[in-house]
A and B are shown apart, each in its own frame.
Chain A
Amino acid sequence: MLASHVDNVEAEIIKVVTARIPAGVQVSGQTRIARDLGLDSVAVMDFVMDIEDHFDISIPLDRIAEVETVDDLRNAVEALLKEKA
């Protein structure tokens, strides 16, 4: 994996989430994934699968349960990438 790919985890996450929601909806680090984007619990888990594949990591379900915002997800992804390295 390219270093830049990992360096900008938040931008990568926003890219993946944007593909799943209606065009024009703005997403930032503070965006609450379920509440602000209108995703139900299953849709959130499905979106997280895309994130997992994008970064080639697995985010266990209990960690997903703690994620509310894009920033929370970025932290979880960064921690897992660090564990992997």
Chain B
Amino acid sequence: MSIFSKFDEIRTAFSALTENGRNPFDIRFEKIVSPTEAILDGRRILLFGTNNYLGLTFDQACVEASVNAIREAGTGTTGSRIANGTYSGHTKLEQEIASFYGRRSAMVFTTGYQANLGLISTLAGRGDHLLIDADSHASIYDACKLSSAEIIRFRHNDPNDLARRLRRLEGLPGSRIIVTEGLFSMLGDSAPLREIAAVKRETGAYLIVDEAHSMGVLGKHGRGLAEVAGVEADVDFVVGTFSKSLGAVGGFAVSDLPDFDLLRVVCRPYMFTASLPPAVIASVSAALRRVATDNLLGARVLSNSRRLYNGLAQAGFELGPEPSPIVAVKIGDRELAIKFWNALIDGGVYLNLALPPATPSSQSLIRSSVSAAHTEAQIDRAIAIITDTGYRLGVLNENDTRIAMPAAE
């Protein structure tokens, strides 16, 4: 009996996944040409599955800042902040993020995953109650495993269900902490945050919103769904990432609560891991400045998103519920989704293959993410390739084409 035999079922499923095509967990690009193009198997391919929402990975100012930081402060910090100390760049970036959100404090983590893992698992202690959206990201579920609190799932984007589950806790001691997301990563749908904030106020709970996919994308100032919904004052903690809109790696949390900085000496995923290297801190700082001063980037990614969403909806595809930079095509059958995804790469466009249990309601999805850096011509080409593939594989048929939908805001 091998130590790996517990994974026998996964091995079988994985073999079935890869026997007729590529390994979706191990796509190897020979070269990244730009935020929107790469070389794969010797051919140029359009990138529509990167989460590079603002297209800043090759931004000149970010690149220069990063290169200079390496020259000035070296390639790495070689350890954690509690042991090796904080570099001036860390403090400066934390001040900049706090100021971007108009908050009292910010903490920087080494990845977005660790930001969720650390913040949620530390805030929710023994005797507390964590109420998480059923479709939460894996980092939120893993935070729950690390936490000593009682974990309750509420039905996806359902404030009434959340209220019902909070009501069942009446009379029990302990804090209630609600966790939801600005944009959900699989279908690109947003949380009913105004209603969730109302439930939070009525029940005296705390509210954490993960704006990983919505920072820099939603809101006049790019502060995400909480800004759009006008409930920033109700959100006790915003969590986010540097790896999407800001084009690097890392995570953060911001808050107005006075004792927030206590987390620096109790939050293990913050304390016991190496801090972000100077190059990353510097490019994130530059990217954040760009987001704070350039409203056009956010407007551009949203108009590009509507173009892709409406194009695919008109072609007759079944999509997520609303246009957002995450546009997911629902493919009923798992095998068909795998075939579809491979055919799209053959056709010259890279998207993400998303299969259950990583997806809501056991759906198989071809998930795309739109960038401000995409040209309209690139989006139109992606729509054409996806549509053509849809007809060839029988996902679409001639009767499917829908009446043009108005561009939703």
Asked whether any CB of chain A lies closer than 8 Å to the CB of B150, the reply is yes
Is the CB–CB distance between B168 and A57 below 8 Å? Answer: yes
B92 at the interface (CB under 8 A from A): no
Are B134 and A45 within 8 A (Cβ)?
A: yes
Expressed in whole angstroms, the Cα–Cα distance for A61 and B134 within the complex equals 11
Chain B's closest residue to A35 (CB) is B9
Complex Cα–Cα for A56 and B356 (A): 28
Which residues of A sit under 8 angstroms from B360, Cβ to Cβ? 42
Residues of B within 8 A of A57 (CB): 168
Using known A-B contacts A49-B153, A61-B151, A61-B153, determine if residue A43 contacts B168 with beta carbons closer than 8 Å: no
Interface string of A22-46 (1 = CB under 8 A from B): 0000000000000000001111011
Asked whether A61 lies within 8 Å of B356 as measured between CB atoms, the reply is no
Given A49-B134, A56-B168, A61-B144, the answer on whether A43 and B357 have CB atoms closer than 8 Å is yes
Chain B residue at smallest Cβ distance from A39 = B362
Closest chain-A Cβ to B127's Cβ sits at a distance in Å of 12
Q: Give which listed residue, A42, A45, A60, contacts B356 with CB less than 8 A.
A: A42
B362 engages A62 (CB within 8 Å):
no
Q: Are A60 and B357 in touch, CB under 8 angstroms?
A: no
How many A-B contacts at CB < 8 Å in the complex? 36
Known: A45-B134, A57-B168, A58-B168. A40 touches B357 (CB 8 A): yes
A45 lies within 8 A of B168 (CB): no
Chain A, range 36-78, C-beta contacts under 8 Å to B: 40-43, 45-46, 49, 52-53, 56-58, 60-62
> Can you list, as one digit per residue, whether each of B130-148 has a CB less than 8 Å from chain A (1) or not (0)?
0000100000000010000
CB of B165 within 8 Å of the partner chain: yes
Given contacts A42-B356, A49-B155, is CB(A58)–CB(B362) below 8 Å? no
Residues of A within 8 A of B134 (CB): 45-46, 49
Q: Which residues of B contact A60 (CB under 8 A)?
A: 150-152
Q: What are the 10 closest A-B residue pairs judged by CB atoms, nearest first?
A: A61-B151, A40-B357, A60-B150, A42-B357, A58-B152, A58-B168, A41-B357, A60-B151, A40-B356, A58-B165
List the interface of chain A (C-beta within 8 A of B).
40-43, 45-46, 49, 52-53, 56-58, 60-62
Task: Identify 8 residue pairs between A and B in the complex whose beta-carbon atoms are under 8 Å apart, listed by A's number.
Answer: A40-B356, A43-B362, A45-B153, A46-B361, A58-B168, A58-B169, A60-B152, A61-B144
